[in-house]
Structure 1
Amino acid sequence: MKPTGKLLLVLCAAAIFASCKKDAVTTPVNEQITRKATSELTTTLSETFESGTKTAYASASVTLGSGSWTLNDALIGNLSTDLKNGTQSARIRNTGTLNMNFDATGGATTITISHGVFGSDGSSTWQLWISTNSGSSYTQVGSTVTSSATSLSTATFTVAVTGSYRLSIRKISGGTNRINIDDITVTTGTGTGGGGGTTGDNSNLLMGNPSNATTSVVLVTNYLMDKTYYTSSYNSTRGTPNWVSWHINSSDIGSTARQDDFRADVTLPSGWYEVGSTSYSGSGFDRGHNCPSGDRTASVAANSATFLMDNMIPQAPVNNQQTWANMENYIRTLVTAGNEVYVVMGSYGTGGTGSSGAANTIDGGHVTVPSNIWKVVVVIPDGNGDLARVTTSTRVIAVNTPNINTTNSDWKTYRTSVDAIESATGYDILSALPTSVQSVVEATVDNQ
């Protein structure tokens, strides 16, 4: 029997609880209570493809459990080679689509979709689009997803819809390769506190999931990791994060000393290479933090979390100790002045220049040296209802520096737009914001 939407939520909650228990070894109980996000979730759409029949690829509408959908170059599959939970799932080929013909109500915060390849077919890519005007126009949600696994994986998208919506799933590459889609679940809810995977105030991913990272272990280059004090997309083939996202308010800045306990992350999936505390030794590159130690000085546990090696990148010493240190200090002055900030930092490209010269990789090829390092900062006054308070006049700082040892110590030299960083990385960095707000703040280059 296929799990119902309610059962899926229970299973997800159990998984989150298990993850929190794992962190409890090093995190005091009282701090877990204050830092862990809490959320009341409501399911506003659940489609399991268990009801309805469509045996041909030709475009036609079919009544499913949630309502009427139009399946174009797609059908309802029930073969042994269809990936599915239960007896049926959708199967799409070429550039087929699954489109809702009705408005779901109640809003949307998180959308999860199970997907994988049909039979022995090759990989394909697809996108999720959403409409909030009864199908008159659509906007892509998150990043393009690749289906390459022969078992169902889960793609998770973060949105901020308060009213009605329609979904459109669009296969965009792979030709005649077929993919299966199953178990579409849409939830909405609010949370409080600093957590990783939720979308309430102060949560690490409130502004969105830039690369649509998920916790599926098959996504070896885009693996979502919630470290309580920051959330990241980890790339196991590069040995570094793609990006790290976190929130800072005045309660995060205290008097805890820098722990300097650089160490491998032993919680990585089995078989993945664990970058160690000495992996950068003799390379000419610093162990450069993404989420800085100085942003997490409220407790020993918080500060220690930033010294996991999967929070590090090989960073040119001058770039790390001057350019980026100066920007990090400046951001903290904004916080102590009465603001809270949402930060996303990442890197891309291959090849940097450290104190010992240029290099593409270190640690015997296990760790890739990035060519560029970027950061995006959303600044809002202290308050509640953070996502709704980001407007077209909100200050957004975007910086992109080369990873070289001769960068200017003045980080403002490297200010750019979010749009430019997205163009370089392919990410959708502030995807949770309304498109009307994104279009303005992402095109603006900060000059304060």
Structure 2
Amino acid sequence: MKHKVIFWAAASVLAVLAACNKPSGLEPQISISAKDPVEAPATEYSYSFKLTATVDWEIRGLDEDEKSWLEVSPVSGASSSSPQTVTVDIKANTSAAERSATFEFYGSGLSAPLTIVQAGTTETEIYSVSFLDGQGGFTVEDKDKPAAIDEIWKHDPKYGMVATAYKSDTQENLASESWLVSPVIDLTSESAAYLSFKHAVNFFKDASVLPDEAAVWAREENGTWERLEGVYYPPTMSWTFMDSGSLDLGAYVGRKMQFAFVYSSTAEKAGTWEIQEVSVTRNDTGLPEELTPDTPGLWLELPALDDAGSGLCFISHDMPLGGKDVRNYSYCYSTGDRLALWVAYPLNDGLRGNGGRSDEWSLDPKMPRKYQPILYRSYTDRDENDENIYNRGHQIPSADRLDAEANLKTFYFTNSAPQSGSFNSGVWADLENMVRDWSSDMDTLYVVTGVDIAGATEVAHDNEGNEVTVPTGFYKALLGYDKDASFGAETGGYIGIAFYFEHRDYSGGSSAVMEQSMSIDALEDMLGYDFFANLPAKIGEDGAAAVESAVDSWWN
């Protein structure tokens, strides 16, 4: 009898437990309405879904690292015949790397798994500072400071952080060493990082000493300093700022680190090093990884683009004018040749602007680095006299865009083509001057400048040894417009002319230029392009044909 009581009591407890674990009359079940996997953006994100659990349940499978960026609420619950709401809160992913977590809703031997996949950030910047605004949290560590000077590194609101051990009042060069050390940079969640900065050097002994006397070092936090290689220095002593190139910080990703600008000098010569904008980015200089073409507008200067082949990409750059952004220039780029096949832009005195030449050659922010020629210095090919064979020839000339921001964009590497020095400074410069003069006498001159690479066999080499196709010829197609029709009265105020030059020396100045002139149609027949493809929509097919088939006497 006693055993029966105990058995009845045990059975009663089991019945109560079963009643507590699932609602009466329902089959044990755990299921979720969420799509598996849940794909979350890199930004902070919250996702809610329904959980059906007729048994008591809990979350299993999240480790501490995953809990640091992902929170599930609630983390457990009682059985219910009604669906329960579960929310997953996900913190922003500041790394470019994708991350994921898999966990399960578990109870009574039942399980419903769920995976969260969060995209990496597309934001490229990890850290940046402008030394024009101040010292930016950097500290100065003088290793060898002469008593005759108060400081080696100092801030200048016009030039940034400036280092020199030259004592101007006594005209002395002093031996020194001083470090400008960054704050700690957190790369613990990064998979890649690159350092770049703008700098100018002057009054050093020569360019050969720059890697030692204007060096960049890095270390893991509290670790040993190591020199960073690959800094691009200006080819000559001047106050012209240039981009340092991208210094790979891959050895420090996953950790906290610091970098330092290390200036040194000798009693023989104490140069001056100026540094302005500094940034650490997640990819190489913050450039896109793959080609993304821009959408062309219905601009009069554009050639037809519908026959662009593989490896060609249309890119357009803007510039500020009158409080708004307007087009600066556009180009069609051949990745295999590391060369813009043509550059097109409008030109008049207002678009030309006022200012000077920056000479700050830099990477084009719209073009993946792997396709660009690296031209902080000129092409590396030398002749028997150890002189540069090729200049960095602008396609849209620097002098056609003089406002500061617009001018900087003419110094993108993608706007350069290898030109022999005598051609660049000779007949080609004469034509560029004539184009500017013509543009001042009309409302707008629409310009296409391009290269001919048909039959090209020669290559130039950029600063990293990459091959760049050397054009066999250069050309310009011009469409002039005057709203008062002081010329082109029968064609809506439009007239056209074109020029083609073999890539060789010419003599004769402006007369040699005009000897190479031809109609736009003739240049199209020579090259296979359809220039000014939007002109017929403006003045009709017959008007456009008249403009492109003849050279108006106004040009002479």
With normalisation by structure 1, the TM-score equals 0.48
Whose radius of gyration is greater, 1 or 2?
A: 2
